[in-house]
């Protein structure tokens, strides 16, 4: 089981990667925004696009699971 990372800002705003481990509504009003996209390229390789949060394009990866792992790691490094 992966650790759930929560960052609490000075105004009490919580930033986290969406996860169903914790019902975020118990913490207050919830606003969910897309931080990235994992999609196949024309050759069937997988890319993790972190551009919605001004991040890099990661990949290509042979397997979707690799792209998902890179996506999570990249978001944790840059956002949390």
Q: What is the pLDDT of residues 29-39, one digit of tens each?
A: 999 999 999 99
User: 55-79 as b/e, with b when 16 or more CB fall inside 10 Å?
Assistant: beebbebeeeebbeebbbebbeeeb
Interval 37-48 mean pLDDT: 98
Lowest-pLDDT range, 1-5, 20-24, 50-54, 66-70?
A: 1-5
SS3 4: coil
What are the domain boundaries of the chain?
6-79
With vertex at residue 15, the alpha carbon angle to CA 10 and CA 12, rounded to the nearest 5 degrees, is 30
Helix (H) or strand (E) holding 67: helix 64-79
pLDDT digits (tens, 9 = 90+) for 53-78: 999 999 999 999 999 999 999 999 88
Q: What is the pTM of this model?
A: 0.81
pLDDT surpassing 90 at residue 80: no
């Amino acid at each position: 089981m992966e650790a759930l990372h929560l960052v609490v800002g000075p105004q009490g705003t919580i930033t986290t990667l969406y996860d169903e481990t914790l019902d975020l509504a118990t913490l207050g009003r919830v606003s969910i925004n897309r931080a990235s996209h994992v999609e196949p390229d024309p050759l069937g390789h997988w890319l993790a696009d972190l551009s919605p949060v001004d991040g890099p394009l990661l990949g290509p990866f042979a397997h979707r699971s690799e792209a998902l792992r890179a996506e999570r790691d990249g978001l944790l490094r840059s956002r949390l």
